[in-house]
């Protein structure tokens, strides 16, 4: 009887979530405006948009992206992580749906194989395992993207600190701010410097100021240092001496922050090694004392 009650509760919860997804609750005016902006950025969806040659994966990703927009789910931090990894939002959603579908199929197949082999388990076991595995597979890409984006964002910050020094050196050499920004971005061909160079080139072609473009890039990839840099350059764009001083101090501050983070990570690793050594010594003491304890207990 309990199994049927739990099964009915699970089915009822699924129906409730489906109804909530199809008929969303009333949103505030702010959420409505954000939804309109997101739909404008996404663009209208039609079969002719892809020339009739859109693959099944592209259609799934596009429809999932539209579903997120209609529900008002911004996911800005996740979008920033994908932006710094140069990965598309629609392809990421397609990966999540594909992994979740694989989780829904894998557990029932495993249950069928065990049933054929003679292992007759309760129906609730594969049901809960299917839900748990599908949910875990659905969340797994988020964890992977966040970890990789955290590492890449740290590399980006190190590049930004070196880039600020190069801009200050070009300013000291007599170049103007736009020329100094572009010249500093042309020295290296790393992925971060190339991203900055492409942003500056696009800003020059579109007529946007380079510091505004840098601020937009910082917002897109989640690097606050670039946002602050764009705001500072917008305020002191006409004073070369103030710009050089500001860039040098910002680069020094970023290097000190990076050094403190490295020292903190080194301290954490040292503490973990100390704990491992203490556990090893405790195990060795137990190994030495155990024979004496057994003899005393035998007496």
Counted residue by residue, the chain has a size of 299
Across the 299 residues of the chain, what is the mean pLDDT of every consecutive 10-residue run? 64 68 57 57 44 63 80 81 87 88 82 77 74 87 90 87 84 81 85 89 87 87 84 69 74 78 76 81 84 76
What's the confidence (pLDDT) of residue 37? 60
Helix (H, G, I), strand (E, B) or coil at 208: coil
pTM above 0.85, yes or no: no
8 Å CB contact between 94 and 57: yes
**CA-CA distance, 204 to 185, in Å (whole number)?**
14
What's the confidence (pLDDT) of residue 229? 81
Residue with tokens 């395992």: 129
8 Å CB contact between 200 and 184: no
Q: Is the dihedral of CA 90, 93, 99, 105 positive or negative?
A: negative
End-to-end CA distance of the chain: 55
What's the confidence (pLDDT) of residue 26? 60
What's the confidence (pLDDT) of residue 50? 42
**CA-CA distance, 268 to 252, in Å (whole number)?**
24
- Provide the b/e sequence for 136-156 (b: ≥16 CB within 10 Å): ebbeebeeebeeebeebbeeb
Helix (H, G, I), strand (E, B) or coil at 121: coil
The DSSP call for residue 50 is G
What's the confidence (pLDDT) of residue 60? 80
């Amino acid at each position: 009887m309990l199994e049927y009650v739990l099964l009915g509760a699970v089915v009822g919860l699924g129906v409730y979530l489906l109804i909530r997804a199809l008929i969303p609750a009333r949103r505030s005016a702010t959420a409505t405006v954000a939804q309109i902006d997101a739909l404008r950025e996404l663009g209208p969806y039609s079969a002719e948009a892809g020339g009739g040659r859109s693959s099944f994966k592209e259609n799934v990703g596009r429809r999932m992206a539209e579903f997120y927009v209609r529900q008002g789910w911004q996911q800005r931090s996740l979008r920033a992580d994908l932006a710094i990894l140069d990965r598309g939002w629609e392809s990421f959603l397609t990966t999540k749906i594909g992994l979740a579908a694989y989780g829904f199929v894998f557990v029932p197949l495993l249950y069928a194989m065990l049933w054929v082999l003679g292992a007759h388990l309760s129906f609730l076991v594969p049901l809960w395992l299917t839900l748990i595995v599908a949910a875990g597979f659905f969340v797994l890409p988020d964890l992977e993207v966040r970890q990789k984006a955290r590492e890449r964002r740290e590399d980006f910050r190190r590049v930004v600190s070196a880039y600020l020094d190069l801009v200050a050196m070009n300013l000291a050499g007599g170049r103007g701010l736009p020329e100094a920004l572009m010249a500093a971005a042309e020295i290296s061909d790393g992925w971060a410097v190339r991203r900055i160079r492409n942003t500056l080139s696009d800003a020059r072609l579109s007529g946007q100021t380079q510091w505004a473009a840098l601020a937009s890039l910082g917002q897109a990839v989640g690097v606050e240092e670039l946002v602050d840099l764009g705001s500072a350059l917008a305020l002191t764009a006409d004073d070369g001496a103030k710009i050089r001083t500001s860039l040098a101090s910002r680069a020094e501050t970023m290097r000190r922050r990076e050094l403190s983070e490295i020292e903190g990570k080194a301290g954490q690793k040292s503490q973990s090694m100390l704990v491992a050594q203490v556990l090893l010594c405790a195990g060795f003491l137990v190994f030495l004392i155990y024979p004496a304890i057994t003899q005393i207990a035998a007496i």
